[in-house]
Amino acid sequence: MEMKRIPLNQRLRRKQHVEIARLQDMVVEALYRMFPKSVLHGGTAIWRCYSGSRFSEDIDVYIEKNTGKIEELFGEFEAMGFSITKKRVKENSLYSKLVFNGIEIRFEAVFKKINGVVKEYETYEGILINIYTLLPEDLVAEKVNACLKRKKIRDLYDIFFLLRHVKDAGKVRPNLRRFLKEFKEPADEKELKVLILFGIAPTKEEMLDYIRGWLA
């Protein structure tokens, strides 16, 4: 007998996480209406599309550069009830902060054509919708670069988690070897416990040992 899937909003323990998840869904819904070829990546893609257990409040996407459609999208955000507290558009990217009833989420986009893969995105109500995201191998590559650059424990955890989904080991081995060689101590290791939604938060050494074992 197949086990019934528990909706995401019933698995989240913190009320604020439930609210952020709901707001993320609103943003994602509007995004794909305006930019159907958008590719979701980063921590929220891992959490929603690969059943990750680390909470992420940011929405990171690749979209085409279309100033008119971007303005329409932000107009739709405002029509939905969001306040745009920050919006910075550069040549190749945009960064914004959206607030709804006092809850803030960040929406960031890189203007780049990326061929994503279709994956099911789990909404906070437990509904599965098809969107575009990256393959696990490509997410690992992004997370390796992020961890080496900003030295955050969350990026190490994401690498540790994603390896369970990797099918093309040869594609990630060079990045992982470089990662282990250049790895620097994260200063925020204690923060991981707050971000893990279910189960224990592994230590830095446990995750590094897992990666070493995966490479062996």
77 and 156 share one domain: no
**Mean pLDDT across the chain, nearest whole number?**
94
In this predicted structure, the answer to whether residue 199 has a pLDDT above a threshold of 90 is no
Same domain? 80 vs 108: yes
Residue-wise pLDDT tens digits, 30-87: 999 999 999 999 999 999 999 999 999 999 999 999 999 999 999 999 999 999 999 9
Least confident of 7-21, 87-101, 156-170, 197-211: 7-21
Considering the domain architecture, whether residues 123 and 143 belong to the same structural domain is answered as no
Are both 47 and 130 inside the same structural domain?
A: yes
Q: pLDDT digits over 74-130, tens only?
A: 999 999 999 999 999 999 999 999 999 999 999 999 999 999 999 999 999 999 999
**pLDDT of res. 215:** 96
Are 183 and 211 in the same domain?
yes
- pLDDT at res. 4: 63
When divided into structural domains, the chain yields a total of 2
- Tell me, yes or no, whether 120 and 20 share the same domain: yes
> Where is pLDDT greater, at 7 or 148?
148
What integer pLDDT is reported at residue 14 of this predicted model? 84
Of 154, 151, 147, the C-alpha closest to 192 is 154
- One domain, residues 62 and 150: no
Q: Which of 171, 184, 186, 85 is nearest to 135 (CA)?
A: 171
| Domain shared by 64 and 27, yes or no | yes
Q: What is the pLDDT of residue 3?
A: 52
pLDDT at position 208 over 90:
yes
- Answer whether residue 1 shows pLDDT above 80: no
Q: Is the pLDDT of residue 2 over 50?
A: no
Is 165 a domain residue? yes
- What pLDDT is attached to residue 105? 96
Same domain, 158 and 92: no
Domain range holding 23? 8-134
Instruction: Tell me, yes or no, whether 17 and 96 share the same domain.
Output: yes
Residue 194 confidence (pLDDT) above 50:
yes
Same domain membership, residue 141 and residue 70: no
pLDDT at 66: 96
CATH number of the domain residue 31 falls in: 3.10.450.620
